Amino acid sequence: MSKKEIKTSIVEYNDSTDEDFHPPAKWHIVNSLGQLVFIHVRTRESAQKYVDEEYGKGFFTVKTLSLDKSGSGEYSAVGSNTRRGFNPSLKGLK
């Protein structure tokens, strides 16, 4: 797959935060200018390969855009229903 076969779309970050924004592709990176560069390919692996060839290996990681506008989309949170890792004095609390 050569670079000429892959289509990309550039969207400004402010435009991507609009309520009616629909991403043009599934995979994207945020470049150094803060723009979202969408890569129009089927798999994440081929998108990452294109980004590595175009921008250099290890500079950008391909992500998928979260349609939830409540957060930045850069971080995820995972909860746990156990008390493991807490202070031992708190294990008995319920």
The full set of domain ranges for the chain reads 3-67
Q: DSSP secondary-structure letter at 17?
A: T
Whether residue 66 has pLDDT greater than 50? yes
User: Which alpha helices (DSSP H) does 41-92 contain, by range?
Assistant: 44-55
What is the reported pLDDT for 65?
A: 76
What is the reported pLDDT for 16?
A: 87
Q: CA-to-CA distance for 50 and 56, rounded, in angstroms?
A: 9
What is the reported pLDDT for 47?
A: 94
What is the reported pLDDT for 50?
A: 95
Cα–Cα distances in angstroms (integers) from residue 28 to residues 35, 58, 80, 81, in the given order: 10, 15, 29, 33
Entry field: residues in the chain: 94
Q: Which two tokens stand for residue 42?
A: 């089927």
Q: pLDDT (tens digit, 9 = 90+) per residue, 11-41?
A: 999 998 888 999 999 999 999 999 999 999 9
* pTM beyond 0.75, yes or no: no
